[in-house]
């Protein structure tokens, strides 16, 4: 069973497509958080960011890089929030990697990306050192 986004790429479900190349695709979000809210996806199905092969990740970033100014200029936005919900616990509902480009406007009542997480942890210096070392060893 393919994802709803694969069905959009296949042309089986209509969408307002704004960009397409060999490996990536972009269309307006059907339930926009702001005018111009755009989703950028790899055409092939990968559930999470770390499932995306390096070459496709490069293409995906190139498309995001291209579309951010296109979206901002099209709706005269002051800024954009550009983000992935990466995994169910982070709010990902469609299991097909997608980048949200959400136009932002001065005084739009929204918040920064810092508002998405729960209570902030109170971490000691040695815990921060350990976490940094764990990440560095895997990067
Ligand atoms: P997420 O919660 O990050 O998985 O976001 C999924 C996004 O896909 C939501 O913002 C939905 O509004 C959007 N969406 C779901 N179905 C469609 C569709 N058929 N066409 C365009 N956007 C869709």
Which of ligand 1's atoms lies nearest the C-alpha of 33? 10
Options 3.40.640.10, 3.80.10.10, 3.30.428.10, 3.40.630.10; which CATH number does 4-138 get?
Answer: 3.30.428.10
- Compute the distance between CA of residue 139 and CA of residue 131 in angstroms, rounded to an integer: 12
Residue 135 CA, distance from chain mean position: 22
37 catalytically annotated: no
| Cβ–ligand 1 contact at 14 (below 6 Å) | no
**E-strand spans in 43-91?**
79-83
| Cβ–ligand 1 contact at 85 (below 6 Å) | yes
Phi, psi of 37 (to 5 degrees): -55, 115
pLDDT 10s per residue in the chain (139 long)? 799 999 999 999 999 999 999 999 999 999 999 999 999 999 999 999 999 999 999 999 999 999 999 999 999 999 999 999 999 999 999 999 999 999 999 999 999 999 999 899 999 999 999 999 999 999 9
61: helix, strand or coil: helix
Pocket test for ligand 1, best of 86, 93, 98 (most atoms within 8 A of CB): 93
Phi, psi of 132 (to 5 degrees): -60, -40
């Amino acid at each position: 069973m393919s994802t709803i986004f694969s069905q959009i790429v296949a042309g089986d479900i209509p969408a307002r497509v704004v960009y397409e190349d060999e490996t990536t695709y972009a269309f307006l979000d059907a339930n926009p958080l702001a005018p111009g809210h755009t989703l950028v996806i790899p055409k092939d199905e990968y559930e999470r960011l770390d499932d995306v092969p390096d070459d496709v990740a490069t293409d995906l970033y190139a498309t995001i890089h291209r579309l951010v100014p296109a979206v901002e200029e099209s709706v005269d936005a002051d800024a954009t929030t550009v983000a992935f919900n990466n995994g169910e616990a982070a709010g990902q509902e469609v299991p097909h990697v997608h980048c949200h480009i959400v136009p932002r406007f001065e005084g739009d009542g929204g918040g920064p990306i810092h508002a998405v997480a729960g209570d902030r942890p109170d971490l000691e210096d040695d815990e921060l050192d350990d976490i940094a070392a764990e990440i560095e060893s895997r990067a």
